[in-house]
Structure 1
Amino acid sequence: MSAESSHAVISGEPAGRPRPTLRERKKERTRRTIRTEAFRLFREQGYTETTVEQIAEAADISPSTFFRYFPSKEEVVLADDLDPVMIQAIDRQPKGKPVLAAIRDATVDAFAEIDPEIMEFEKERVALVYSVPELRGAVAREFERNIKLMSGIVAHRLDRDESDFEVLTLVGALTGAMYALIGREPFSQEQIVRVIDFLESGMPI
């Protein structure tokens, strides 16, 4: 999850969301081109060997334009476009629904909204993050950021403070389980739902 995730592209606009302006659509196309070309170069010659200048040239933009979209090459990989879709799906869940059930049902709803092409890109992105040693430090920072983000979401649903012991423990268990699995098996809706079901059942072993 990252600040760039506010630019998620999904198959269709949820009800009530205004249609993007022409300028917004052009910006989104440029952003997608940058990421598409970057990942092509990563596959062909490796993450470490690929430079910002090469990505910019492949995307037919200047390096300065690249930096208007991403502050670094690292952020091209770390930007998570599933975040806003997931957050909106959680917000749509009934207020009284148990928090883990709300996250599970929101996951199913969110994955149903996402264009298959975008989902395939996200799977490749996650695999890259966990296979490149140079990105390990960034992964640790993202873990901390995800704890803070999810703590806010859970605390809001439960009308509690995000520093509440139960809130942090629940979020830590959920986030920690996901990070333990990602990189060892393919990222998928089934993986997330299985983690939530296991936590919800009391983690019987």
Structure 2
Amino acid sequence: MGEALAAEHGQTAAPGTKPSLAQRRKAALRLEIAGEAVRLFAAQGVTRTTGDQIAQAVGISARTLWRHFPSKESCVLPLLAAGLEFAVEQLGHWPAETGLLEFVTESCRDGQLPAAAPAILDLIRMTSTDPALRAVWLQAHDDALPVLAELLARRSGGSADELRIKVHAATINGALRAAAEEFARRYADAPEAAGNEITTCLLAALRAASEGLPY
């Protein structure tokens, strides 16, 4: 893809560049912190979980934890951003002569959707009941908006600042979020669910988005 989500927001490096060893280690640590935070949140609730507990579970100091994240809830951002990053990366390979639904259908048929980790599904479900986690989830999508707008601008030959392109980017972004939430809700008791199930939710959301407003 042309641009990437910044490392602090779960994004990757610009195309053609390879992250340094320090950047890769930082990303790995952030993902480990996110995984432990989700595990603790799911086991004992967000309110009863402290930053110190998350740091201890990872084996780092609380001071190190707070260097990476401003709050305990924001610790989960790398996991929430991972699915968005994957989606934006795939859209970067979207052929100019192919419609969005056709491209997504073909990509899904080729098995390019990753399996949904149980931790991510647990986390997305928790964003529907915990306001602070909800804010982090929405922040992840907000961070993706300019990346999607740039992608659509390059595809159309327009500008990412055009209202029309901003609306289209927001529409795709919203469809991705709704699909993830629907999949997490629908398959709460089937953590092994993947492939066709994810595809069904994603295509249903994108079809609804492509219909426009029928009111």
TM-score scaled by length of structure 1: 0.71
Moved more, 24-33 or 75-84: 24-33
**1:128 corresponding residue in structure 2:** 126
Deviation at 1:53, TM superposition (A): 0.8
Aligned residue in 2 for 1:10: none
Q: 1:174 and 1:132, CA in 2 relative to 1: closer, same or farther beyond 3 A?
A: same
CA RMSD of superposed structures (Å): 3.7
Contact 1:89–1:106, Cα closer than 8 Å, also in 2: no
- Bigger mean CA deviation after superposition, 54-63 or 90-99: 90-99
Question: What is the aligned partner in structure 2 of residue 197 from structure 1?
Answer: 207
Mapping of residues 1-205 of structure 1, within 5 Å: 3-6=8-11, 26-79=25-78, 80-99=81-100, 101-102=102-103, 104-105=104-105, 108=108, 112=112, 114=114, 116=115, 119-179=117-177, 183=181, 186=184, 188-201=198-211
Contact 1:52–1:63 at 8 Å: present in 2 too?
A: yes
Contact 2:179 2:205 in 1 (8 A): no
In the alignment, is the contact (CA less than 8 A) between 1:126 and 1:183 conserved in 2? yes
- The aligned amino acid for 2:36 is E
SS in 2 for 1:81: helix
Number of aligned residue pairs: give it.
194
2:161 alignment partner, SS class = coil
Any idea what SS the aligned residue of 1:50 has?
Answer: coil
Structure 1 gaps of 5+ residues are 8-15
Higher mean alpha-carbon deviation, 85-94 vs 180-189, is at: 180-189
What secondary structure, in the 3-state scheme, does the structure 2 residue paired with 1:39 have? helix
Can you give the 5+ residue segments of structure 2 that lack an aligned partner in the other structure? 186-197
What TM-score comes out, normalization by structure 2 length?
A: 0.69
SS at match of 1:145: helix
Distance (whole Å) between structure 1 residues aligned to residue 62 and residue 32 of structure 2? 14
Question: What amino acid sits opposite 2:131 in the alignment?
Answer: P
Partner of 1:12: none
CA deviation vs aligned residue, 1:20-65 (integer Å, no higher than 9, x gap)? 8776665454333322221121112111221111100111111122
